[in-house]
Amino acid sequence: MDKMLSVVLPAYNEEQMIKKTAQVVGDLLEKEQIPYELVFVNDGSKDHTWEKILELKEERAHIKGVCFSRNFGKEGAVFAGIAQAEGDCIAVMDCDLQHPPETLIKMYRLWEDGYQVIEGVKASRGRESFIHKMFAKTFYSIISDATGIDMSRASDFKLMDRQAAEEFLKLPERNVFFRALSSWVGFKTTYVEFDVQEREAGESKWSFKSLVQYAVNNITSFSAAPMQIVTFFGVVFFVFAVLLGIQSLYMYFSGHAVAGFTTVILLLLLVGSILMFSLGVIGYYIAKIYDEVKMRPRYIISEVIKSKE
Ligand code: UDP
Ligand code: MG
C-alpha cells in the first residue's frame, strides 16, 4: 500500500488559481497513483478564495480546507496546513503553480527512497527585478551565515516526512520562518532543483515593504548579528575615543585647547546617530521578545472542511 501524501497549499487572494491548481496537482497525483489529500489554507483572503475551496470540496475527493479568521501571513498558513495534514509525508507548495507539480512527484519518490526532508531549490530565481535580486542576495547571505545552511536558492517548496513535520510543529516560536526551520530540524535531507514558473493568474503578494519586513523579521529571529555589529561599532568608537582623548589632553597641556570645533561637531553627530541606530536595533529585539512572550496564537481558524471520501 502506497503511503499518503498531503499537499499543503497556502492561499491568499487566489480565487483564480484554486480550481486550476487542484486539477493540475490532483490529476497528476492520480495518474502517478499516489494517494493524496490537498490541504488548502485560506489565509484571510479578501476575494472569493474560500468560496472556491468550498465548491472544490463538492467537486473533488481528497480536499481539505482551513479558513483563517483574517490574514495571518504565509508562514502561519503553512504551519496550520501542516498541523491539519494527515499524510505520511507532507509537501508544501504555492498555490499559484509557480512550483512545478512534476517536482512534487520527484520529491515523493525521494521520500520513498528514505529521505525525510526534501528541499526544493530554485535552479534560477525566475523573473525578478534587479532591486529584488540584489535585495534577496543580501538577505540570503546574512541568513546563510546565521544558519550555516546555504539559503541563496532556498524556497518554501518542500516535502517533509511525518517525523520531521511533527518536530517542526513542536517549535514554540510565534515567528516561524519555514524556509530555514525545515532544515534546522535536521533529519536525512536532500535537494531537488526546480525552475520557478511564471504566475498564471493573480499577482504576487509581495510589495517591497513586505519584503523588507520579511527580511528584518527573519534575520532577527535567526541571528544576533545586528547586535554584534552594534557592539563592533562600540569597540571601534572606544578606540577612537582613547586616541582623541590622548590628543585632546596633549593639546590642553601644550596650550592649544580651543581648536578642533569641527571635530567636536562631527563626532557629536556621528556618535549620536550610531547611538540612535544601536538603540533601534536593540529595541527591535526587545519588541520581538515582547511579541513572543505574549504567546498569542500564530493564527485563528474560523472553519475547517473536508470533502466526502
Ligand atoms: N500567501 C499566503 N498568505 C499571504 C501571502 C501569500 O498564504 O499573506 C500565499 C500565496 O497565496 C501563494 C504563496 O503564499 O500561494 C506565495 O505567494 P506569492 O505567489 O504572492 O509569492 P511569490 O511567488 O511572488 O514569491
Ligand atoms: Mg507566487
Q: Determine whether the shortest distance from the Cβ of 119 to ligand 1 is under 6 A.
A: no
Confidence check: pLDDT of 56 > 70: yes
Give mean pLDDT, residues 254-272: 75
Give mean pLDDT, residues 230-246: 81
Give mean pLDDT, residues 204-212: 76
Cα–ligand 2 centroid distance for 208 (angstroms): 15
Confidence check: pLDDT of 63 > 80: yes
Given a contact cutoff of 8 angstroms between Cβ atoms, the answer to whether 4 and 75 are in contact is no
Looking at residue 107, its pLDDT comes to: 94
Q: Which ligand is nearest to the CA of 9?
A: 1
Choose between 270 and 70: higher pLDDT: 70
Q: Which ligand is nearest to the CA of 40?
A: 1
Looking at residue 258, its pLDDT comes to: 66
Within a 10 A sphere around the Cβ of 63, how many other Cβ atoms?
23
Within a 10 A sphere around the Cβ of 198, how many other Cβ atoms?
9
Confidence check: pLDDT of 5 > 80: yes
Confidence check: pLDDT of 191 > 90: no
Identity of residue 249? L
Distance, in Å, from the CA atom of 73 to the CA atom of 39, rounded to the nearest integer, reads 16
Cα–ligand 2 centroid distance for 75 (angstroms): 14
Q: Determine whether the shortest distance from the Cβ of 161 to ligand 1 is under 6 A.
A: no
Top mean-pLDDT range of 67-76, 227-236, 284-293 = 67-76
Q: Determine whether the shortest distance from the Cβ of 307 to ligand 1 is under 6 A.
A: no
Residue among 67, 37, 62 at smallest CA distance from 52: 67
Distance, in Å, from the CA atom of 39 to the CA atom of 25, rounded to the nearest integer, reads 12
Give mean pLDDT, residues 197-211: 76
Q: Determine whether the shortest distance from the Cβ of 210 to ligand 1 is under 6 A.
A: no
Q: Residue 202 corresponds to which cell in the numbers above?
A: 493573480
Task: Label residue 43 by pLDDT band (50, 70, 90).
Answer: very high
At 93-137, the pLDDT tens digits run 999 888 999 999 999 999 999 999 998 988 876 667 777 778 778
Cα angle: 214, vertex 217, 219; to 5 degrees = 100
Ligand 1 nearest atom to the CA of residue 41, by list position: 7
Residue among 136, 246, 145 at smallest CA distance from 196: 136
Looking at residue 77, its pLDDT comes to: 95
Backbone dihedral angles phi then psi of residue 32, each to the nearest 5 degrees: -85, 0
DSSP 180-224: HHHHHT-SSEEEEEEEPPPP-SS-----HHHHHHHHHHHHHHH--
CATH number of 5-206+297-305: 3.90.550.10
At 15-39, the pLDDT tens digits run 999 999 999 999 999 999 999 999 9
Given a contact cutoff of 8 angstroms between Cβ atoms, the answer to whether 6 and 90 are in contact is yes
Task: Label residue 7 by pLDDT band (50, 70, 90).
Answer: very high
Task: Label residue 141 by pLDDT band (50, 70, 90).
Answer: confident
Distance, in Å, from the CA atom of 58 to the CA atom of 19, rounded to the nearest integer, reads 12
Q: Determine whether the shortest distance from the Cβ of 12 to ligand 1 is under 6 A.
A: yes
DSSP reduced 3-state for 8:
strand
Q: Determine whether the shortest distance from the Cβ of 96 to ligand 1 is under 6 A.
A: yes
Q: Which ligand is nearest to the CA of 67?
A: 1
DSSP reduced 3-state for 56:
helix
Give mean pLDDT, residues 263-278: 79
Looking at residue 86, its pLDDT comes to: 93
Tell if the pTM clears 0.80, that is, is over it.
no
Q: Measuring from atom 18 of ligand 1, which residue has the nearest CA?
A: 204
Distance, in Å, from the CA atom of 79 to the CA atom of 271, rounded to the nearest integer, reads 43
Domain regions of the chain by residue span: 5-206+297-305, 225-294
Average pLDDT of the chain?
Answer: 85
Residue 10 pairs with which residues in a beta bridge?
41
Q: Measuring from atom 11 of ligand 1, which residue has the nearest CA?
A: 11
Instruction: Report the Cα 233 to chain-centroid distance in Å.
Output: 29
Q: Which ligand is nearest to the CA of 95?
A: 1
Task: Label residue 309 by pLDDT band (50, 70, 90).
Answer: low
Residue 158 pairs with which residues in a beta bridge?
92, 119
Q: Determine whether the shortest distance from the Cβ of 11 to ligand 1 is under 6 A.
A: yes
Q: Determine whether the shortest distance from the Cβ of 125 to ligand 1 is under 6 A.
A: no
